[in-house]
């Protein structure tokens, strides 16, 4: 019933070659084939955002992308950006502000927030609370009510803008 496809890609900087079922989505590939459990399955309808990962530098819904389509591409997950320290300031802010409760949405939320703040250090402008809320609205959090998340992202944006601490490397 299933067809296997050979793919070679980069995941968190490591070269990976695998044969995958054609129907296997990226999150199942990361979790079941590579053991990278940090990306969560929340709805598999592309709505909740818990499975947000980066493909070629842009955030995507991992549950809406087939692994077989990623030959030659580059994937980054929460484990990867944690190891490189790229979003350390955001992670510190989430911890300090209690912007994560059960933690299930958090990896996706962080990657989405990181995209919003990517250019703050270069442009010298940081998004407003309303813009932060708008940008994060593809990522559902059922625990926090969002206020603390917005606070944390806002604080990191301001810090990066002023370059006072933990600016983008």
Partner 1 sequence: MSLVIDPRSVDRPNSYIGRSLPRPNARKLVEGRGQYVDDLVVPRMLHVAFVRSPHAHAQIGRIDASAALGLPGVLRVFTGQDLAAHCDPWVAVLAHLKGMKSAPQLPLPLTTATWAGEAVAAVVADSRAVAEDAAAKVSISWQVLPPVTDMETALDKPTPVIHPELGDNLVFERVNESGNVAEAFKTAHKVVEATFHSGRHTGVTLEPRSILAEFNKGDDTLNIHHATQAPHMMQEVLAKHLRLPLSAVRVICRDIGGSYGIKVHVYPDEVAVAVIAKIMGRPVKFVADRLESFGSDIHARDHRIKGRMAIDAQGRITAFDIDDLTGIGPYSVYPRTSAVEGNQVVNLVGGPYDFPNYRAKTTVVLQNKVPTCQYRAVGHPIATAVTEGLVDLGAEALGMDPVAFRLKNLMQDDTYPRTSPAGMRFEGLSHVKSLGLLVDMMDYRGLRAQQQLLRAEGVHRGIGFASFIELTNPSPFMYGIGGARISAQDGCTVRIDPDGSVVAATGVTEQGQGTEAIIRQIVAEAVGVPIDVVRVITGDTLTTPYGGGTWACRGAGIGGEAALQAGIATKQAALNVAGAMLQAAPDALDLVLGNIVDKATGAVRMPLAELGRIVYFRGDTLPPDLPRELMQTRHFITKQFPFAFTNGVQASHLEVNVDTGLVTLLKHWCVEDCGRIINPLLVDEQVRGGVVQGIGGALFEHCTYSPEGQLTVGSMVDYLVPMAAEMPDIEVGHVETPTKESLLGAKGAGEAGTAGAPAAIMNAINDALRPHGAKVFAQPFTPERILAAIGRVPKR
- Taking Cα atoms as reference points, which of 35, 18, 15 lies closest to residue 7? 18
Quick check: 26 binds partner 1 (CB under 8 A)?
A: no
Quick check: 47 binds partner 1 (CB under 8 A)?
A: yes
Q: Min. distance of Cβ 88 from partner 1 in angstroms?
A: 10
From 11, 48, 68, 116, residue interacting with partner 1 (rule: CB under 8 A): 48
Quick check: 133 binds partner 1 (CB under 8 A)?
A: yes
| Of 37 and 124, CB closest to partner 1 | 37
Residues in the interface with partner 1 (CB under 8 A) total 57
- Residues 6 or more apart whose CB falls under 8 angstroms from that of 120 comprise 126, 127, 157, 160, 161, 168
As given in the structure block, the two tokens for residue 22 are 């054609």
From 12, 52, 91, 126, residue interacting with partner 1 (rule: CB under 8 A): 91
- Taking Cα atoms as reference points, which of 153, 115, 163 lies closest to residue 132? 153
- Taking Cα atoms as reference points, which of 6, 24, 4, 31 lies closest to residue 16? 6
Quick check: 144 binds partner 1 (CB under 8 A)?
A: yes
The vertex-19 CA angle with 15 and 23, nearest 5°, equals 115
Q: Which residues bind partner 1 (CB under 8 A)?
A: 1, 21, 23, 28, 31, 35, 37-45, 47-48, 50, 77-79, 82, 91, 94-98, 100-107, 110, 129-130, 132-134, 136-150
């Amino acid at each position: 019933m299933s067809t296997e496809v050979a793919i070679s890609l980069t995941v968190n900087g490591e070269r990976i070659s695998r044969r995958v079922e054609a129907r296997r989505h990226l999150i199942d590939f990361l979790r079941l084939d590579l053991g990278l459990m940090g990306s969560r399955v929340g709805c598999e309808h592309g709505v909740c955002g818990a499975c947000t990962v980066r493909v070629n530098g842009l955030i995507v819904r991992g549950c809406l992308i087939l692994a077989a389509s990623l030959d030659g591409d580059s994937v980054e997950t929460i484990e990867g950006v944690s190891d490189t320290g790229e979003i350390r300031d955001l992670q510190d802010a989430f911890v300090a502000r209690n912007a994560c409760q059960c933690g299930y949405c958090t990896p996706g939320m962080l990657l989405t927030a990181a995209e919003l703040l990517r250019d703050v250090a270069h442009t010298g402008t940081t998004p407003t609370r309303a813009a932060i809320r708008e940008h994060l609205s593809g990522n559902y959090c059922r625990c926090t009510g969002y206020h603390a998340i917005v606070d944390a992202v806002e604080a990191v944006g301001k810090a990066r803008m002023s370059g006072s601490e933990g600016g983008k490397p």
